[in-house]
Structure 1
Amino acid sequence: MIRIFCLLLIVCLGVFQAGAQTDTIISRIVLIGDAGQLTKGKHPVADAVKRNIRMDEKTLVLYLGDNLYRIGLPDDAYVGYADAKSVLDSQLSVVENTPARVIMIPGNHDWNNGGKDGYNSVVRQQYYVDLLGKKNVKYYPENGCPGPIEVSLNDDIVLVVMDSQWWIHPFDKPEVESDCPYKTETEVLTQLNDIISRNYKKLLIFACHHPFRTYGLHGGAYGLKQHIFPFTDLFRNAYIPLPVIGSIYPISRSVFGTPQDLRHPDYANMVTQVEEVMKAHPNTIFVHGHDHSLQYIKDSFNYIVSGSGSKMQRVVKTRKTPYVKSGTGFATLEVSKNKDVRVNFYVVEGDSTKMDFSESVLNFSKLPVVRQDTVLSTSVKYKDTINMPASTRYDGPSGFQKLMLGNNYRNEWSTLVNFKVFKINQEKGGFKILSLGGGKQTRSLKLLDKDGREWTLRTIDKDPEKAIPENFRNSLAQDIVQDMISASHPYSALAVPSIAHSIDVTVPEPEFFFVPDDPAFGFYRTLFANKVCLLELRDPTRDGSESRSTARLLEKMVDDNDHLVNQKEVLKARLLDMVVADFDRHFDQWKWGITDTGKGKLYYPIARDRDQAFFNSDGLLIKVVSRRQLPFLRGFKPNMPAINWLNWSARDFDRIFLNRLDRASWEKTIMEVQSKLTDSVLSTSVHRLPDEIFPLNGERIIETLVSRRNILLQKAMIYYRALADDINVVGSNKSEYFRVRNIEKGLNVTVYARNNNKDTSYKMYDRNFVNGETDEIRLYGLNGNDIFEVDENTSSRIKLRIVGGKGNDTFDIKGNVRNFLYDVIDSVNVIKSHNRSKLRLSRVPSVNQFRWVDKQYTQIRFPRIIAGFNTDDGLLIGSGFWRRTFGFRKEPFASDNRISALYAPQGGAYQVRYHGEIVNLFGNADLVLHSELVNPTLNNFFGLGNNTLLDKTKPFEFYRTRFNHFALQAFYRKRFFDKVSVYTGPMFYYYSYNPEDNRSKILTGPSLIGLDSLSVISNKAYLGAKIGIDINNLNSELFPTRGIHWTTEFSSLSAISKKGGSVTKFTSDMVVYASLNSPSWLVAVLRFGGGHIFNKNFEYFQALNLGANNFLRGFRKNRFSGSSLAYGSLELRAKLFTSKWYILPGDFGVVGFNDIGRVWMNNETSKRWHNALGGGVYYVPFNMVIVSATMGFSKEESLFNFSIGTKLNITF
């Protein structure tokens, strides 16, 4: 009995101890990454978690991205949709019927493997998870937003989720026009800092898909096996030895990385910026997936990689990795009551699971020292008012600075104004701080008053990153961009409301305050202390109800057809923008009030954020760039210049919310606005500026407003004409009836809502379109069972594009109108008739794709400056014309035409070149045209062979060959993946020789250099064909810093004249740009290539050449000519600084190069490789043009080249 009692006691003690250990765990986070595929219909890792981990209320299962391979969740019309969602179901089943929770975050594969459809793919996946309706399952961040999302696990632990693929995604993603709470990288970092400040004493777990440290494949883990047998990464047993060649890929990827690798500059830049913020928190653990392995890394922080939820790849153990494993499995973080954090790694093999590693990571029981700016105090007293300037940073410019950057509104910024002091605990009854927003310099706080209304408090000194477009701001020094903010009026927001109210436009009523160094601001004290700020109501609706964002409104309009916008009120608000010259009116600048009509919801606009009203600069710099690069910055001028470009940022907004208004509606509304904007109204509005500010420029502003009002009809109708050119008529996910009928001189389009597949009288859309005013109407059914009907007697020059969308659509096209029908090939769609229709039916659901944002303006650049000087050609001067148009589903453009002319005064020669592209002219294939006329050439010829001599006793011009030629090529081009082009087509070439031009030159005696005299002097015409492949993923057309451009061509020409033979060539040229950082200050450029002529006999002008104009700088142009050639070049470009020169600010750097090459000829023996070294400087103002000066040195010559154009080395 005693033995039995003792045994029972031991067992009970053991059970008690196990229970006690379990009870000490206050939180358990299960980490599973890259779980996006099944194995024989099962999910071994998910099943192992269910078997081995306690699924209680303390447990969170965190899926770390790549939840579906290979392209995320496809459209439900795809065959693979059912299989894909079953993978998601298997992952989410781990918490089925348990109190445990799941949070799923996206990875690159969920974003369509980082592809163009990435945004749609990740949103589809989130919507599917949400529609399951499981209360213990969440998908973060939502709507493709970047985050960060703050999730409180308990009183001591905070999980922070960020979508890292959003950060590095190169295609469409939610940004400033979206409904995301944080829309830019800067805002993401600002919010991270806010989360850290508010959770300083807690454990912070930072989760995103891409690891910030890794020793797996994405960290450059390549061993000897991958160098010798490179194909084993793709196929496990592909042991095909490729020594040396096999090293090219692993070395380049280890050093430079793909966009999904830690070494890639964009990826590395994300890591650097996030870690810079996170280092302020004392207890942070990073958790990731992406690499298909298990890793515990101790470095700047503790990093856990758990990315082998369904796949495994190699991983390397280092001194910083206490644990690594190449095997499928998962990890857990267990937090105990004593605030000890332990990591456990589990390896899963089939049905077996074992804990392979366990270690304490950190203990956060010791409280960090509280930062002084977070100590609250309410005992400080402040004055009621204070005299302060808006900012002093624009005061006291030099005379030259004023000339270049303008006087602008500097006086308004620097003048003392009497401000009311903002007392956060007293103003409006006292405020509670909800959250932080804004960018690097413009900060904002969301505040809540005692009545439950939300307000925004923000600093008024503008953020240059918000004010100046990216392609411009990156080429300017920070202080120059900041100084240009002086062209914005600091108090313009005070003048706008009175103007708006006079025309019944709803806007916020801002107030200006001075914010003291107030401890009541807590964490945000230092951000707002001693700054002038603007306070305004977040929802200034007419009835005090909550407003909606533009993104939310668009969702409602798509979901149901009873959500409409009062477009007349939108037009009045937009006319106000034109009068005050506010160019910054993107989607996020608007909110929407709601009126219930009884039949649905009618929305009215609320225009926010008047930072750019009255924007005006009198500096030469803005005058120059506003004529070409940034035409929307023409400014607040009396004559309202460039009206279409003033509205550039709102072009898609206007196409959505003004698409029902015809010419008559515009004219009537404009005249109504003009009549209400009386001189008195405008004067009263401007007098609302602070008393100290009005005397400075108030009268001029009034005069300008009066002038702009007077010409508003004329100018606004120019913009109407631009909008009317092509119109989108958009249905909804419910069913609609689209009817197109004939009217005098045009068409009428009417859209009715259908209920239960029956027609109703509820009219959603009704507009008349005029021939010659509208070129194209696009009807989008979206989802639902839609009917598209064109009446029988309809005739018009206006083109129709009809996109059916999902659902059982019916097309009845009987009229005489050119039209295109788009839909999925499906038996449920009915085409009753299709007169004059071009059917664009497809099995791919993307045929029904619709985008709210798709409008581009035609781009014209003239003149495009070309100039230079080099030792061979002397002075070169020229110009160019470039025109690019855009069209329906034409990517990246509809047509591109470039003409350039170059003149060399010293040689009395000129050349004219044309390059044209027409996209999708032949279905999905393009037409590409090249032509060139040179009269005469300024080429050199030194004979054929690799060992030809340069006789320096001869005059410089002796080796010049002057002949005329004309070339024409026309190609049929097919593009793949936007990076690869295959093209083929005919070629024509004409050669004309003038003996007088070659007197006393090398071609005077052709036989002396092995040429046939009669052949040289005879005019010739050739006809042939070319086929080629072009691979191009350069990140910039003008000055690339990363990517590859590889062109390979095979061509053949035959003479169609009496003289001449035939020539068949093969050439291949590759250039690789590699930068090791972001932004790129050091770029390596590697060039190599070669070619071969297959004919034994060919003309001297058909030879393959090396020289200053062809891969061998430091030698004369065409210095070596032969039947074969090979070359290589290494060039380093180092950016030294961004110039602060007001005339042409831009990037300044140095370049150094080493070129090597040679040619071959039949019956010639030569082992010589020609080598040239050189260097120089470059300057890239405004990212518009390259200015360069280089010297090339060889054993024969020292050659100088100065160029202004689109490349570093311009020759004739």
Structure 2
Amino acid sequence: MIKKYNIKIFFTFLIINLIISAKIYSQNNFSENFIIITPGKQYKAGWLHKLFFGKHWRDVWATPVKVKILNLNTFAGGLTPIKKGGGFQTKSLRFKGNDGNIWKFRSINKDPSKILPEDLRNSLVDDIIQDQISSSNPYAALVAVPIISAVSILQSKPYLVYLPDDPKLGKFRKDFGGLLGMIEIHPDYDKKEGRTFEGAEKIKSTFKLFHRLENKRDEKYDAKEYLKARLIDILLGDWDRHTDQWKWARFKENGQKLWKPIPRDRDQVFAKWDGIGPTIAEYIIPQFVDFDSTYPQIEDLTWSGRFIDRRILPAIDRQQWDSISVFVKSKITDKVIEDAVKHLPPEIYPLIHKELTRKLKKRRDKLVEVSQKYFKRVNKYLDIYASNKKDYAEVTRLNNELTEVSLFKRINKKNGEKGKIFYNRTFENQYTNEIRLHLLDGDDKAVVQGIVNESPLVLIVGGKGKDELIDSSIVYYESAGLAHPIPDVETKFYDSGKRSKFIKGKGTEINTAKFPEPKTDIEKYEPSQRDRGHNWVVYPILGFNTNDGLLIGGGPLLYKYSFRKIPYDYRVLFTTTYAARPINFNFNLNATFNSIFDWAQVNIKLQSLKLTLNQFYGFGNGTVFNNGLYRNDFYNIEQELFTLNPSIKIPFGKSVVAMFGIEYRNSHYEINNLSLFSNFPFENYGLEHQKRINIKAGIEFDLRDILSNAKHGYYLKLNGEIGPEILDNKYTFGKASIDVRSYFTLKVPTNTTFALRAGGEKVWGKFPFFESAFLGGGNNLLGYLRNRFAGNASIYGQAESKIYLTPLKFIIRGKFGIHLFANSGRVFAENEDSKKWHSSYGGGIWMSFLDRTFNIIFTTAYSKEKIIYYFSTAFSI
């Protein structure tokens, strides 16, 4: 009996200890100086989970390893915690060592919830993203160290340790006691304490170094060392190399002050992105690249480091680049790779050493080849930075193959203004599309010279100060049949300074518009707005409505980005949409250009439509609807419509846009029941094959807080259109429409948004039936079929209330509520005396996520004719 009682006590004590020890990690077995620990048992998964969310490095995370316990009393002569780190995913803690160094501890496991929007935290999405930490290899940094050392790049050597739950951690004990992580020297410089790193004169973070070198002509980035480091990033598949992943150390070499890179935080080395979900994520976020024997697209792999690349790498010409590439490859021998992989924990080495060794060797063999692609990417759009002092810049178009850029200190002397040179490089035109020279602040002078037939576009960007920008160059545009060549615009000056002076050449463009200055270092050095290159995605279409049934389709969406073209230079979308009920297709090409005019946006639409007008119910406000006839396709129309619609939008401030456009229409309609045209005043005008041109204009005032789910604001849209007697258009007609909306939110008793809308349309003259003022459908009268009523004029009113009920935790956090609406409207027709108003009412539920940017709305609408269900991602008002 006593033995049984003691056994119960023993197991109770054991279970309690296991629960406590499992707070952070799954399994902790202590010895005197070591602990056996499983860093991520929660990432272990079955085959189905792996199929959808990736196999990743789950087996590595779920394997127990023997790790040394960090002794805070003896390591580095004794460690004292001083500061919690500011990482978004990694927990980090800095210690002051009695050896004079600052040491940084970083947790192996990560918590990505802090980088998520509030609505995504503590949700299923949060859990999925946490699960994807298994895509990273927890011990990759240990393998990276000897490979980096092989090319003599500065670095801090990490040590895999277990940080014990020690009272010496003080106020940091709760967050850091019992964590597995790596500890390394934090590169630092403190003159008072005599602390430095590898003998460096100074240590700086990336942003501070950017600031410093904008004011120090005599200090340089060590571009060659940085390229070596980036080639190692590429070899290791380390895609996460943003500005905070680097420190910089200054040394004197041959009388020159050079800043050398110190790469750090190797969390994404050997990252795996397999599985259905992660593969889709790779497509959406291309820099999520998978570590394999072959390289991914170089743009994706180097994307996170692009801002540093643009600052530093343009200093290296092709010969130097190729030489460095060959050097790095030669240093990463088979022995270096094999020895590096042996730095894995002994328990992990048998699991993955063959895979890592094989992949690293194959990537090493192709490093020079991929480095050439990297060179082409970096040199396609070049950024060159002068200083905040007085500079003299000279761009010389040497010939059709070469362009030289030189930067000098600007001086005021009789024999010239060029002082000491501090930058010079000759670029090969075959690799370079644009050279962007940023003069920064100071009273600068820039001269562009040379006469050639081919040249990169040269952009000179002035800053604060009295600048002088001169273009004496000529780039000929040669064309057969012309007696004289036409100068091409290949030089652009950007300077809003009132005291700046310009001397134009034959191919110069001057832009004096004031561009908003960045408010933070992030905006200045890591802007979110793209300004070069292309990007394309697949644009999906999926929907349902009563008229068309299931709608499915999509197509490619291409973006082109250029300097100071916001949000893009141009955008081209091509889509195909299939509708199941009429069994037909729409084809749509929509192109938007922001670079043709600086003051306006140009849009071109090209459409082949068979779905916009598939039913006609007669003309007039009193037409009768019969469900049986509708089901038997009595009201159906066969539509073939081709349209070409170029237009221009002119913004006036942020809230007002004016639009002008011309539309060419080539249409043909067929109907089986001509009796539906009995009340149409112009017989069956519009059914025949018809070519016509319409001229359009409009103005839009938009003061809503969010377009798809507004809580406050106003909206007004006025449109006018005229169809002149041109081509097959027999008569001139005109149209005008108005749409007014208002939104306000009250707490009655919960947050309720009230939306009011009124609108109408009027048609004058003799017009084809398809230009009638239509009413019905989700656009203006819910509860009735699309284009249910047709007349010379229409009027409608809508009122809707959106009532918030409760927070929502379904996949992601959001808001849940109900909505109620009432609609009423009518059309007017010649020779019809109808006073009838067509009303409808209804409601439904809504869910809103990500601060109202993504919405799901289910609506049921009731009218005398039908009950119609709607599903949409935007409210009708």
Fold agreement, TM-score > 0.5 = yes
Is contact 1:1111–1:1129 with CA below 8 Å preserved after alignment?
A: no
Return the alpha-carbon distance in structure 1 between the equivalents of residues 741 and 166 of structure 2.
Answer: 58
* Structure-2 change in CA distance of 1:793 and 1:894 (3 Å): closer
* Structure-2 change in CA distance of 1:678 and 1:1015 (3 Å): same
Return the alpha-carbon distance in structure 1 between the equivalents of residues 568 and 585 of structure 2.
Answer: 30
Is contact 1:771–1:798 with CA below 8 Å preserved after alignment?
A: yes
- Tell whether 2:418 aligns with 1:748: no
Match of 2:679 among 1004, 1009, 1013: 1009
| Deviation at residue 497 of structure 1 after TM alignment | 1.2
For 1:881-919, what per-residue CA distance to the aligned partner results, in whole angstroms no more than 9, with x for missing partners?
211111111111111111222123542432222222111
Match of 2:63 among 415, 418, 421: 415
Moved more, 575-584 or 982-991: 982-991
Match of 1:968 among 631, 644, 648: 644
Moved more, 969-978 or 408-417: 969-978
Match of 1:1161 in 2: 828
- Structure 1 residue identity aligned to 2:512: L
Return the alpha-carbon distance in structure 2 between the equivalents of residues 1103 and 728 of structure 1.
Answer: 55
* Structure-2 change in CA distance of 1:610 and 1:413 (3 Å): same
Is contact 1:405–1:618 with CA below 8 Å preserved after alignment?
A: yes
Return the alpha-carbon distance in structure 2 between the equivalents of residues 662 and 622 of structure 1.
Answer: 37
* Structure-2 change in CA distance of 1:882 and 1:1167 (3 Å): same
| Deviation at residue 438 of structure 1 after TM alignment | 3.4
- Tell whether 2:444 aligns with 1:786: yes
1:432-471 → structure 2 map (5 Å cutoff) = 432-438=80-86, 442-465=90-113
| Deviation at residue 1058 of structure 1 after TM alignment | 4.7
* Structure-2 change in CA distance of 1:859 and 1:1076 (3 Å): farther
Match of 2:36 in 1: 387
* Structure-2 change in CA distance of 1:770 and 1:825 (3 Å): same
> Gaps (5+ residues) in structure 1?
1-380
Number of equivalences: 810
Q: TM-score, normalised by structure 2?
A: 0.84
| Deviation at residue 804 of structure 1 after TM alignment | 2.9
* Structure-2 change in CA distance of 1:473 and 1:928 (3 Å): farther
Match of 2:616 among 929, 941, 952: 941
Q: TM-score, normalised by structure 1?
A: 0.62
Match of 2:495 in 1: 823
- Structure 2 residue identity aligned to 1:576: I
| Deviation at residue 791 of structure 1 after TM alignment | 3.1
- Structure 2 residue identity aligned to 1:665: Q
Match of 2:144 in 1: 496
More strand by share: 2
Q: What secondary structure sits across from 1:796 in the alignment? A: coil
Is contact 1:868–1:1201 with CA below 8 Å preserved after alignment?
A: no
Match of 1:915 in 2: 590
Is contact 1:402–1:619 with CA below 8 Å preserved after alignment?
A: yes
Return the alpha-carbon distance in structure 2 between the equivalents of residues 722 and 1035 of structure 1.
Answer: 39
| Deviation at residue 1185 of structure 1 after TM alignment | 9.3
Moved more, 1114-1123 or 830-839: 830-839
Moved more, 1171-1180 or 970-979: 1171-1180
- Structure 2 residue identity aligned to 1:704: K
Match of 2:74 among 416, 420, 426: 426
Return the alpha-carbon distance in structure 2 between the equivalents of residues 386 and 751 of structure 1.
Answer: 59
Return the alpha-carbon distance in structure 2 between the equivalents of residues 739 and 520 of structure 1.
Answer: 60
* Structure-2 change in CA distance of 1:756 and 1:463 (3 Å): farther
For 1:146-181, what per-residue CA distance to the aligned partner results, in whole angstroms no more than 9, with x for missing partners?
xxxxxxxxxxxxxxxxxxxxxxxxxxxxxxxxxxxx
- Tell whether 2:524 aligns with 1:839: no
* Structure-2 change in CA distance of 1:941 and 1:1133 (3 Å): farther
1:149-548 → structure 2 map (5 Å cutoff) = 383-395=32-44, 397-438=45-86, 442-465=90-113, 477-539=125-187, 541-543=197-199, 545-548=201-204
| Deviation at residue 411 of structure 1 after TM alignment | 2.1
- Tell whether 2:866 aligns with 1:1197: yes
Return the alpha-carbon distance in structure 1 between the equivalents of residues 715 and 321 of structure 2.
Answer: 49
Return the alpha-carbon distance in structure 1 between the equivalents of residues 357 and 287 of structure 2.
Answer: 22
Match of 1:806 in 2: 464
For 1:356-375, what per-residue CA distance to the aligned partner results, in whole angstroms no more than 9, with x for missing partners?
xxxxxxxxxxxxxxxxxxxx
Return the alpha-carbon distance in structure 2 between the equivalents of residues 1076 and 462 of structure 1.
Answer: 41
1:384-783 → structure 2 map (5 Å cutoff) = 384-395=33-44, 397-438=45-86, 442-465=90-113, 477-539=125-187, 541-543=197-199, 545-597=201-253, 601-627=257-283, 629-741=284-396, 742-743=398-399, 745-754=401-410, 762-783=420-441
Match of 2:773 in 1: 1104
Q: What secondary structure sits across from 2:314 in the alignment? A: coil
- Tell whether 2:604 aligns with 1:929: yes
| Deviation at residue 755 of structure 1 after TM alignment | 5.2
* Structure-2 change in CA distance of 1:1073 and 1:504 (3 Å): farther
- Structure 2 residue identity aligned to 1:561: R
Is contact 2:802–2:820 with CA below 8 Å preserved after alignment?
A: yes
* Structure-2 change in CA distance of 1:481 and 1:966 (3 Å): same
Return the alpha-carbon distance in structure 1 between the equivalents of residues 786 and 393 of structure 2.
Answer: 65
Return the alpha-carbon distance in structure 1 between the equivalents of residues 742 and 294 of structure 2.
Answer: 49
Is contact 2:532–2:562 with CA below 8 Å preserved after alignment?
A: no
* Structure-2 change in CA distance of 1:433 and 1:1031 (3 Å): farther
Q: What secondary structure sits across from 1:1015 in the alignment? A: coil
Return the alpha-carbon distance in structure 2 between the equivalents of residues 663 and 963 of structure 1.
Answer: 59
Q: What secondary structure sits across from 1:690 in the alignment? A: coil
- Structure 2 residue identity aligned to 1:779: L
Match of 2:669 in 1: 993
Return the alpha-carbon distance in structure 2 between the equivalents of residues 755 and 447 of structure 1.
Answer: 49
* Structure-2 change in CA distance of 1:555 and 1:922 (3 Å): same
Is contact 2:609–2:640 with CA below 8 Å preserved after alignment?
A: yes
- Structure 2 residue identity aligned to 1:834: G
| Deviation at residue 653 of structure 1 after TM alignment | 1.6
- Structure 2 residue identity aligned to 1:521: L
| Deviation at residue 1115 of structure 1 after TM alignment | 1.8
Return the alpha-carbon distance in structure 1 between the equivalents of residues 574 and 710 of structure 2.
Answer: 22
Q: What secondary structure sits across from 1:653 in the alignment? A: helix
* Structure-2 change in CA distance of 1:1168 and 1:874 (3 Å): same
1:774-1173 → structure 2 map (5 Å cutoff) = 774-793=432-451, 796-817=454-475, 818-824=490-496, 826=498, 829-831=500-502, 834-841=505-512, 844=514, 851-854=524-527, 855-856=530-531, 858=533, 860-935=535-610, 937-956=612-631, 957-994=633-670, 998-999=671-672, 1001=673, 1004-1032=674-702, 1047-1069=717-739, 1086=755, 1088-1095=757-764, 1097-1122=766-791, 1123-1130=793-800, 1132=802, 1137=808, 1152-1162=819-829, 1164-1166=833-835, 1168-1173=837-842
Return the alpha-carbon distance in structure 1 between the equivalents of residues 212 and 603 of structure 2.
Answer: 43
Is contact 1:1071–1:1085 with CA below 8 Å preserved after alignment?
A: no
| Deviation at residue 594 of structure 1 after TM alignment | 0.2
- Structure 2 residue identity aligned to 1:732: S
Return the alpha-carbon distance in structure 1 between the equivalents of residues 306 and 742 of structure 2.
Answer: 37
- Structure 2 residue identity aligned to 1:1157: S
RMSD: 3.6
- Structure 1 residue identity aligned to 2:106: R
| Deviation at residue 406 of structure 1 after TM alignment | 1.6
| Deviation at residue 769 of structure 1 after TM alignment | 2.1
Return the alpha-carbon distance in structure 2 between the equivalents of residues 1146 and 1070 of structure 1.
Answer: 33
Is contact 1:946–1:1160 with CA below 8 Å preserved after alignment?
A: yes
Is contact 1:417–1:690 with CA below 8 Å preserved after alignment?
A: yes
| Deviation at residue 810 of structure 1 after TM alignment | 3.1
Is contact 2:740–2:759 with CA below 8 Å preserved after alignment?
A: no
Is contact 1:937–1:962 with CA below 8 Å preserved after alignment?
A: no
- Structure 1 residue identity aligned to 2:425: R
Is contact 1:873–1:938 with CA below 8 Å preserved after alignment?
A: no
